[in-house]
Structure 1
């Protein structure tokens, strides 16, 4: 990752400092209610930017589905004998049932 601080890009750290400084300045210069509103909006926007900064690093839907398909295929391969036994028992049961 380029210029990161604990996984956070340097640009986001700078913007976080700007939001914090702006919030402090708002509380010193403005009405507390208006300053709280500005601080909350600024913090929410910064948090949204932080959370969305790694959006493209996650696997795509197709990659996740491919991995799930591989896991299902491996599971089917592991349980093949048990399914064959169950199928044989079911067929034997159907034969007994049809003989009545």
Structure 2
């Protein structure tokens, strides 16, 4: 928790205690709304710490490259089978016409 949020939480607790001494309804309102503000402040304090779009895209590109390299053997085998089938079709067509 950041220092700013901690200071806000201390101020909130003191304001809540003071408001309860004045009026219980006012104290409960300060308790509720102040608590929400402290939670929102805590969540907002970590907002900019995430990765950037560029960093996420670079990680995805790295993973795609790794998968592509891992499947190179399968692609070569498929290409070989496709070429063999293509040659068989060409030979069949040559026999029909010639």
Scaled by the length of structure 1, the TM-score of the pair is 0.68
Q: Using CA pairs below 8 Å that are at least 6 residues apart, which structure has the higher relative contact order?
A: 2
Which structure: larger Rg?
A: 2
Question: Residues 53-68 of structure 1 correspond to what in structure 2 (within 5 A)?
Answer: 53-68=45-60
Aligned length: 91
Name the TM-score, length of structure 2 as normaliser: 0.69
Q: Pick from 9, 13, 16: which aligns with 1:16?
A: 9
SS in 1 for 2:56: helix
RMSD: 2.7
User: Which blocks of at least 5 consecutive residues in structure 2 are unaligned?
Assistant: 93-98
Kindly indicate which of the two structures has a greater share of residues assigned to helix.
2
In structure 1, list runs of 5 or more residues that go unmatched. 1-7
**Where in structure 1 do 4 or more consecutive aligned residues deviate above 6 Å?**
none
